[in-house]
C-alpha cells in the first residue's frame, strides 16, 4: 500500500519535471529569437522571458526534480518492491537514462543562468534540437519501465530518434517557407 502512494507521488513529480524541462527550452527558443527584435521590443521581451524562465525553473522544474528523486530513492531503497527492481538489468539501464536526465537538467540550468544575464550563446535552432534530448530520454525510460526489458527499449528510442529527425526536417522546411514568405512580403 505504501509503495503505491510513493510510486504515485514519484510519477506526478516526474510528469511536472518533464513539463518544466520541455517548457523551459521552449522559453529558451523565444528568448534567443527576442535578441533579433528591434528596440524597445527586444528589451521588453527579454525581461519577460527572464521572469517566466525564473518562475518556471525555481517554482516548478527544480522542486519537481528534487521531489521526483526523493520519492524514487524512497521507492528503490526503502521498499521491498524497489529492492527487487534494483536487481533487474532493465532498471540499471533506466537509471543510466535518469543519470542522463540529471545531466540534461544541469545543462539547462547552465543555459538558464546565461540567459538570466542576457548571454545568448545558442541559436533558436539549437534550442529546438536541444529540446529533443528530454524527449528521447522520456521515451527510453517509459519503454524500459513498461516493457521491463533492457533490450526492447532500443526500438522505442530508435523510433523517437527517427521521429525527431523528421521533425527537424519539417522545421527546416517550415523555416525556409517562412523566410521566403517574409522576403516576398517586404
Average pLDDT over residues 13-29: 98
Binding-site residues from annotation for heme: 10, 94
- Three-class DSSP category at 152: coil
What is d(CA 124, CA 62) in angstroms, rounded to the nearest whole number?
A: 23
pTM for the whole thing? 0.84
Side-chain half-sphere exposure of 51, counting CA atoms within 13 A: 6
Specify binding-site residues.
Answer: 10, 94
- Measured CA to CA, the distance from residue 111 to residue 131 in angstroms comes to 13
Listed by start position, the domains of the chain span 2-185
Is the confidence at residue 163, as pLDDT, over 80?
A: no
DSSP string, 60-120: IIHHHHHHHHHHHHHHHHSSHHHHHHTTSHHHHHHHHHHHHHHHHHHHHHHHHHHHHTT--
Q: What is the pLDDT of residue 1?
A: 66
Q: What is the pLDDT of residue 82?
A: 86
- Write out pLDDT tens, residues 75-122: 999 988 888 989 998 898 899 999 999 999 999 999 999 999 999 999
Lookup: cell for 114: 546565461
Amino acid at each position: 500500500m505504501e509503495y503505491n502512494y510513493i510510486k504515485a507521488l514519484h510519477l506526478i513529480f516526474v510528469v511536472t519535471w518533464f513539463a518544466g524541462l520541455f517548457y523551459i527550452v521552449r522559453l529558451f527558443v523565444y528568448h534567443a529569437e527576442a535578441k533579433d527584435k528591434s528596440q524597445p521590443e527586444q528589451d521588453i521581451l527579454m525581461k519577460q522571458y527572464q521572469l517566466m524562465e525564473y518562475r518556471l525553473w525555481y517554482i516548478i522544474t527544480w522542486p519537481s526534480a528534487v521531489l521526483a528523486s526523493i520519492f524514487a530513492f524512497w521507492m528503490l531503497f526503502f521498499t521491498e518492491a524497489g529492492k527487487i527492481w534494483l536487481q533487474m538489468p532493465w532498471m540499471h539501464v533506466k537509471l543510466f537514462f535518469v543519470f542522463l536526465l540529471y545531466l540534461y537538467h544541469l545543462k539547462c540550468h547552465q543555459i538558464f543562468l546565461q540567459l538570466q544575464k542576457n548571454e545568448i550563446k545558442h541559436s533558436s535552432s539549437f534550442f529546438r534540437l536541444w529540446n529533443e534530448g528530454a524527449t528521447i530520454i522520456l521515451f527510453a525510460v517509459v519503454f524500459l519501465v513498461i516493457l521491463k526489458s533492457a533490450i526492447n527499449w532500443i526500438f522505442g528510442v530508435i523510433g523517437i530518434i527517427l521521429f525527431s529527425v523528421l521533425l527537424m526536417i519539417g522545421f527546416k522546411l517550415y523555416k525556409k517557407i517562412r523566410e521566403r514568405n517574409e522576403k516576398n512580403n517586404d
